[in-house]
Amino acid sequence: MFDLILTQTLNGLASASSLFLVASGLSIIFGVTRIVNFAHGSLYMLGAYIAWTLVSRFGPADALGFWGGVVLAALLVGMIGVVIEVLILRRIYQAPELFQLLATFGVVLMLQDLTLATWGAEDKLGPRAPGFKSFVILFGNRFPTYELFLIAVGPLVLLVLWLLFQKTRWGTLVRAATQDREMVGALGVNQRLLFTSVFFFGAMLAGLGGALQLPREAVNLHMDLAMISEAFVVVVVGGLGSVTGAYLAAILIGILHAFGILIFPKITLVLVFLVMAVVLVVKPYGLMGKAPVGHARGHGPAEPLLLPADNLTKLAGLIGLAVLALAPLVAPDHILLTLTELVIFALFAASLHFMMGPGGMASFGHAAYFGLGAYGAALAVKWLGAPMEPALLFAPFLAGIAGVVFGWFCVRLSGVYLAMLTLAFAQIAWATAFQWVEVTGGDNGILGVWPSSWAASKFAFYYLALIICAASILALRLTIFSPLGYALRAARDNPLRSEAIGIDVMRIQWIAFIVAAFAAGIAGALFAFFKGSVFPTYMAIPRSVDALLMVLLGGVQTVSGPIVGAFAFAGLSEQLMKATMYWRFVLGFSIVLLVIAFPRGLVGASLLGLERWRGRPEAAAKPVLATEAGR
Amino acid sequence: MTAMLEITGLDAYYSRAHILQGVAFSMNRGEVLALMGRNGAGKSTTMKAVMGLVPPAGGSVSFEGQPVQGREPFEIARLGIGYVPEDRRVFSELTVMENLSVAQRPPRPDAPHWTPERLFSLFPNLGRMRDRPGGAMSGGEQQMLTIARTLMGNPKLVLLDEPSEGLAPVIIEEMAKTILALKGEGLTVLISEQNLHFAGNVADRAAIIEKGMIRFTGTMDELKANEAVRTQYLSV
Amino acid sequence: MSVVMTPSQVATAVDASAPVLVVRDLQKSFGGVRAVDGVSFSVEAGTMLALIGPNGAGKTTCFNMLNGQLKPDKGEVVLAGRPITGIKPRAVWRMGVGRTFQITATFTSMTVRENIQMALISHAGEIFSPFGRARDKYREAADALLGQVGMESQADRACGVLAYGDLKRVELAVALANQPKLLLMDEPTAGMAPRERIELMALTAEIAAAKGIAVLFTEHDMDVVFTHSDSVIVLDRGRLIAHGTAEQVRHDPNVRAVYLGSGATSGGH
């Protein structure tokens, strides 16, 4: 038993090293640029692929060939990081953090297709490392020396980082910029160069992490998202911005995985989740993290005034609804199918908007609730033999319950921390659906989730979806203008003031989280019956990003934005899918362009234009003075 | 002789509000000018615009005859303009010495050269807490540290944004002595201020800003004699 | 503007002879350093108590222990006979304490009136209600409060576009929404022009006297302190070093040494 524990501990420590390299790079980049680099997992993946190519070319058996390849790969990935920083991130340092996250996700999509185009779809098997091909016998077990080498890499890198940050001028500048980058610039430090160098460094660490995995696992196209969600967990647990915290957390997560696989292979993720939960309850900003202080610095503009719809908007809404209601009379079947999907997505987007706009909580994992709604319906049909009606009723509660549990943790955090945590939860939900084959059918999904006979026609199902979605969206809208919605907005605008007038900020945000999850669950359940089947992809990161895009395309600060956004996005992506095999690249590229061009979203941008056109200085001036006066 | 700082027709928007609407004034070498006005009148924004922290939408800023508008803040700092923000903004996790080292620039021939040791003789308190993190200092000490930090760049012109705000009367007196000491070193100092007593003690001239425009410029004595201007723009 | 008192308000103002706030032996340390060390004082209904002292003397720490943001290590805070030591800010508010912040804290996505309505909705315990339109709730009460601070004409404007002095008035109205027994004001006049300072504090004193509210405020402007406080307490390095009327404190040699200085830069007193 003892030797087993020891081997698993060593296994865990070995896998922790790469995780640490990626997470610390992520953390350092975030510290200085305030950008959570979603593409950090992609840089890790590139590190592995590039190392594979270089090592194969230089001669894998030769020590210089192997190690030279690994180091060169890390440096090349650092250079790729520089290219990304200079071409994209530099243009969006002033944009809201959510848009920055989204832009880096665009980079993820682009790199995915670039990798696919360069290296093809098959996994690449790497060579073993020269000099570390043997085993050592530890307590009667054979243990690869390469694993021991990896275990040593972690603390070694930690030491190097510590020396770099404490003992060099560059390190001092990086630490200063982490606290107040604008001030560093005003003191004569070339900020651009500093940012670029930090990005190079962080990217290089990720690349090194990937390259070092070469002898351990087959290089594949899923390494990016798998790594980034784990790295998010690590930085949330360790504390964003703390390198030591990242190391501790990486070790913790690494060991948990090692033992989890041994003891309960099916619920490894649940174990990670539980540990994360405990850490966050005790230390909301992670083991070594501190509450963010930069918030009061006035970088983010104050939230603009939100007024109820005027008659024109109401009229537009009614006309829109009337058009949708009359559409089936003229529209052919395939258009009707598209419309059904659009209506469902509009509710999905509206549910996300509810927590993001008035709630101020950006979720990067909203697909979890959509997916749980879909699975709720499918499981009710498959395991309980329920017909459509009760299944539709039951499903949103499954999503709502997940909202209760996940939300409880998430509302303890804010901003990018919260976004990262929602993503981690969504990954857990996805992995559960993927791994728990007995119940969910795993990758094969659950088939045969068909509506009751009265709703089976495209025509009838369209009306069912339209009625449920329109009613739900209306209910969300009314809630936004109710006392609850106002309290939610108050909590977002100024948590300190809210608490000082008796508003329990966390509870009100928790309620909003649950409501949003429930509403997404309704959309998911309808979607399940619409498609007749459910798959784990319903909960995957890309679907969460779809929802975000819909909301952001429409504009977070407007209530009608998400609906417009849903229609715009769904239409767009449908065309993309048909047009090219490399649709990910095109989509990612469009996201990046969109973020650079329209940081306020479509509806937000047109409203701004309208304000200017009408010459209403009152409305146009507001964010400004608030920041100025709020100091 | 060219002016140290010459601002003409400076326009700036903060997000979307027109905060500066053609600000114009100039400063001579070695003088202390108090930029006075109500909260929100545009004092801080003027300083930020000079520093490049708020991009000017129009007009020009020239420093020793050289236009600086449109340059990056770090370039402007390197030309010899030092900026001390109103909310102090010390690097709270860095020690006093580290705070100073961030701002360190090579000496220049036409400006006083500052070393940590020289600064500690000007601010004896700081010398006693070299290894203390900025976050563990009191407000008054932090204010002194921000000034010391800015001096490490060996500036010729120092922009001090509301140096007396939120400080105890005794500390404000120390602050006044410090500003006079900087003037004694030959530095040119622009301070933004609402406190007329304080400005009266340190400044040679005053410029009054209201709704983004300069409404009055004159010597401190002229301002003290002009009750109409004081009541209208300073609400005293 | 005038504040009209109803008979019941006069009654509360008169028979509130016992102190509204009693602070006993308050203590708080950070990393071994005593930020606040054995501070005791009390505030009577309808009076204004100024808390002054050098930066870093422990004023903010002291304040945050009263408003619930910090838990004292030792000591007791009693509001109208009921202990409120160490309870959360929102609970402190429910017990009858209104607050204004050093940096104005309002809801920028709401109009001036909606800011007040929000506080009134919370006071009525309706924040979790998903029904009805918040804009229609407690409109008259909100307008009445805005009238008291002279802001009724700007009720429909966004808080973000207000002049700084007006924003301070809105904050005062928000702080009055729960009919507080005690008003805590952290540097209420910071960043204001001299005349605005005097106007705001005169208004506060007027309302406090009329409604029998006890006011505790921190301040660096000695003109404000000496004009508008009934009594003054002085903190230095966490300890209370003086307590008395403005006149007594002004001439205290100890206070002059650690805080007031010669008066050359602050108005010469």
Q: Quick one: pLDDT at residue A612? A: 52
Among B14, B36, B38, the strongest candidate for a mutation testing the C interface, having the largest count of C CBs within 10 A, is B38
Per-residue pLDDT of chain B (236 residues; tens, 9 = 90+): 689 999 999 999 876 678 899 999 999 999 999 999 887 789 999 999 999 999 888 999 999 999 999 899 999 999 999 999 988 899 998 999 999 999 999 999 999 999 999 999 999 989 999 999 998 888 889 999 999 999 999 999 999 999 988 788 888 999 999 999 999 999 999 999 988 889 999 999 999 999 899 999 999 999 989 988 888 888 76
Residue A412 has pLDDT above 90, yes or no: no
> What distances in angstroms separate CA C15 from CA A457, C44, C47, C78, one per listed residue?
76, 11, 14, 18
- C118: which chain A residues are within 8 Å (Cβ-Cβ)? 486-487, 490, 501
Structural domain ending residue among the three candidates C154, C178, C202: C178
| CA nearest to A182 within chain B | B53
Residue A557 backbone phi and psi in degrees, to 5: -85, 0
My answer on whether C87 and C1 are in the same domain is yes
What's the distance, CA A25 to chain centroid? 17
Task: Give residue-wise pLDDT tens across range A332-366.
Answer: 888 899 899 999 999 999 999 999 989 999 898 99
Structural domain ending residue among the three candidates C178, C195, C227: C178
Q: Check if CATH label 3.90.1300.10 holds for domain B5-234.
A: no
Q: Quick one: pLDDT at residue A297? A: 33
Residue C28 backbone phi and psi in degrees, to 5: -155, 135
Could you say which DSSP state residue C212 is in?
A: T
- Residue B179, min C-alpha distance to chain A (Å): 19
Residue C102 falls inside a structural domain: no
Mean pLDDT of A183-189: 95
Question: Using beta carbons and an 8 Å cutoff, which residues of B are at the interface with A?
Answer: 13-19, 39-40, 44-45, 51, 53, 72-74, 77-78, 83, 85-87, 89, 91-94, 98-99, 101-103, 105, 149-150, 152-153
Q: Quick one: pLDDT at residue C220? A: 85
Q: Which domain holds residue C170?
A: 111-178
> What distances in angstroms separate CA A277 from CA A280, A291, A412, one per listed residue?
5, 17, 11
- CATH code for position C253: 3.40.50.300
Calculate the average pLDDT of chain C.
88
Domain ranges within chain A, ordered by starting residue: 2-221, 334-578
Q: Quick one: pLDDT at residue C82? A: 92
Proportion of chain A above pLDDT 90, given as a percent: 49
My answer on whether C3 and C44 are in the same domain is yes
My answer on whether C149 and C185 are in the same domain is no
My answer on whether C154 and C128 are in the same domain is yes
Instruction: Please give the biggest Cα pair distance in chain C.
Output: 61
Lowest mean pLDDT among A81-85, A287-291, A375-379, A582-586: A287-291
Q: Quick one: pLDDT at residue C52? A: 92
Domain ranges within chain B, ordered by starting residue: 5-234
Question: What total of structural domains would you count in chain C?
Answer: 2
Residue C53 has pLDDT above 80, yes or no: yes
> Of A477, A122, B235, A246, which Cα lies nearest the Cα of C164?
B235
Q: Check C193 against B171: CB less than 8 A apart.
A: no
Residue C202 falls inside a structural domain: yes
Name the residue with tokens 């070193």: B185
B106 shares contact with chain C (CB less than 8 Å): no
How many CB contacts within 8 angstroms connect chain A with chain B? 92
Q: Quick one: pLDDT at residue A34? A: 84
My answer on whether C135 and C159 are in the same domain is yes
My answer on whether C154 and C226 are in the same domain is no
CATH code of A334-578, in short, is: 1.10.3470
Calculate the average pLDDT of chain A.
86
Q: Are A199 and A54 in contact (CB under 8 A)?
A: no
> What distances in angstroms separate CA B175 from CA A626, B105, B141, C54, C124, one per listed residue?
29, 24, 11, 14, 48
- B40: which chain C residues are within 8 Å (Cβ-Cβ)? 163-164
What span, in angstroms and rounded, lies between the C-alpha atoms of B84 and A296? Answer: 18
Query: Is the pLDDT higher at A76 or at C249?
Result: A76
- A624: which chain B residues are within 8 Å (Cβ-Cβ)? 13-17, 19
Among B13, B15, B98, B152, the strongest candidate for a mutation testing the A interface, having the largest count of A CBs within 10 A, is B15
Among C63, C70, C109, C169, the strongest candidate for a mutation testing the A interface, having the largest count of A CBs within 10 A, is C109
Encoded tokens for A14: 């070995």
CA dihedral A485, A487, A493, A499 (to 10 degrees): -160
Mean pLDDT of A22-38: 90
H or E, element range at C139: helix C139-148
Residue C11 falls inside a structural domain: yes
| CA nearest to C55 within chain B | B139
Nearest by CB to C122, from A494, A502, A619: name it: A502
Q: Check A621 against B16: CB less than 8 A apart.
A: yes
> Of A497, A278, A519, A240, which Cα lies nearest the Cα of A408?
A278
Task: Give residue-wise pLDDT tens across range A117-162.
Answer: 999 999 999 888 888 888 887 777 778 889 899 999 999 999 999 9
Task: Give residue-wise pLDDT tens across range A316-335.
Answer: 888 989 999 998 888 888 88
Q: Quick one: pLDDT at residue A623? A: 33
Residue C190 falls inside a structural domain: yes
C83 shares contact with chain A (CB less than 8 Å): no
Residue C162 has pLDDT above 60, yes or no: yes
- C241: which chain B residues are within 8 Å (Cβ-Cβ)? none
Lowest mean pLDDT among B41-45, B173-177, C3-7, C152-156: C3-7
Task: Give residue-wise pLDDT tens across range A204-243.
Answer: 999 999 999 999 889 999 899 889 888 988 988 898 778 9
Query: Is the pLDDT higher at A557 or at C177?
Result: C177
Mean pLDDT of A567-591: 80
Lowest mean pLDDT among A108-112, A306-310, A621-625, B206-210: A621-625
Residue A566 has pLDDT above 80, yes or no: yes
Residue A573 has pLDDT above 80, yes or no: no
Q: Rg for chain C (alpha carbons), in Å?
A: 19
